[in-house]
Structure 1
Amino acid sequence: MEIGKTQQLKVSEKNSSGYILVDEHDWKAFLPKIFVHDEMDEGDEIEVFVYQDDGKLKATTEKPNAEVGEFAVMSCVQSLPSGAFMDWGIIKDLFIPYTQQKLKILEGKRYLVYIYIDEKTGLITGTTKFKRNPQYVDLPFKKGDKVNLIIMGESELGWNVVINKQYIGLIYASDVFKKLYPLSEETGYIKTIREDGKIDVSLQPQGYENNDEFQTIILKKLEQNYGLLYLSDKSTPEEIKDELQMSKKNFKKAIGGLYKDKKIEILEDKIRLL
């Protein structure tokens, strides 16, 4: 049975308070009746998340914010000298020992948390201490893939990010064309997977094949501004960044395509929607 993971289990017994679920190795977890909408019989299968509570394995149909091996932003519901309890989306709170807190966790505040199984205790545990820009092997994506990001924080090189809740990557400062906020979520694109296993990410798609997205942004902006946008080839990168959150290079590619398709007119200091 995969502790801290969502999985398919089978009903082996039922009683007045709930169901005993088993996996293929006959490991057991208890599912309280409150989490089941329809009555189940022995042999029925159900998808549940398995966690620990008072030394026993329990199951829930609730969806946690993250599973073992993943990151998530969580709020602290109780802070004690021994550690902090975090709301991770299920009935049971996640415990972060004091020794696994990068900074003292305060009640009511939000933090980026990584979930793992503690080797000494065997318990599902959280931590706010994690390695920056680790080296990976056998990554499940390739250059150009669209990914979900959690913004971690700013560094000397740019912004550290969590990719698809599992991997840490970096957005270089030169690739940031909008205001970023720690713990916020963004859409990103894999820019480079380096030989050392580190991951570089961009907030914008790369290359001409992704030009449609930039064209769509510009067309929407033109419609919002009554068909006029006071940007042109002569505009500075900062002006384009502030207005459209894209690089000057991508802006020039996009308006070139829109002009070719006769969707806009390029004037000396502005572009006009046709």
Structure 2
Amino acid sequence: MHKQQLTIIVLALGLIVGMYSLPKVIVSDKSTVLAAEATAANTVDMGASTHTNNLDAAQIAAINDLRKAYVNSADNQKKTIFADSLAGVFKSASLFDSAAHYREAIAELNPGLESWTNAGDSYYDAFGFATDPQKANQMGEKARAFYQKVLEKDPNQLDVKANMAMTYVASSNPMQGIALLREVLQQDPAHERATFNMGLLSMQSGQYDKAIERFEQVLKAHPENDQAKFYLGISYAESGHGSEAKALLQEVKKTNTDPAVQATVDEYLKKLK
């Protein structure tokens, strides 16, 4: 999926993770794109750096104090609390790779389904916002490693499997990701995340009619799913269903105040006039 990439809008941070979670590295020039650069992009030193260019003075001070306490603590429970706080601060600053570093530390201190899932999800967030293919591969591999631990203990964690599938799709073995999504849908034909992801993949291949079917299926069961509504509107627009696209995108514009979403919707609405 790093090749032949789709021009799906990759939106601003905060609202987007888990919602508009197609990695930036799979975005291309097939149609209109408004790519909002993630502030977490291309941060390399996950544990040692404070990424001060992305943090305000209060956050830097908090991180310095928490890191010092984390490093100096010999008590696992306290160390876990400090690591959790560090992960939270980094996530709030949209530094997802650094947040994942501390989620991994927690998983090492307290191995189990919950900590493995949290670490996998954090690396999946970092994977989703990586702008560089090499960085995306690194984050995807880390996510898969933790997700694999979860699935070995509980193969019925379908959300985990659906996320894991997308890391494969963006790797050198994309068909393994497709196969995993199909496994999820065989077990649960209405699974929200897997259906949504299949919609994204249909968009990636330019099969907008299939994407429409997927996103409509998601919204039928989950009408509150804003990301499916957004991508359904884009799919309508790209497939020539102008009136449907306009109505849906106007609805998204009313309910979603994120600046990047607003800009993207405005761009499409201009084209649909």
Specify the TM-score bucket, using the shorter chain as the normaliser.
under 0.3
Higher percent of residues as strand: 1
Higher percent of residues as helix: 2
Larger radius of gyration: 1
Indicate the structure whose relative CO is greater, using CA pairs within 8 Å and at least 6 residues apart.
2
TM-score by length of 1: 0.26
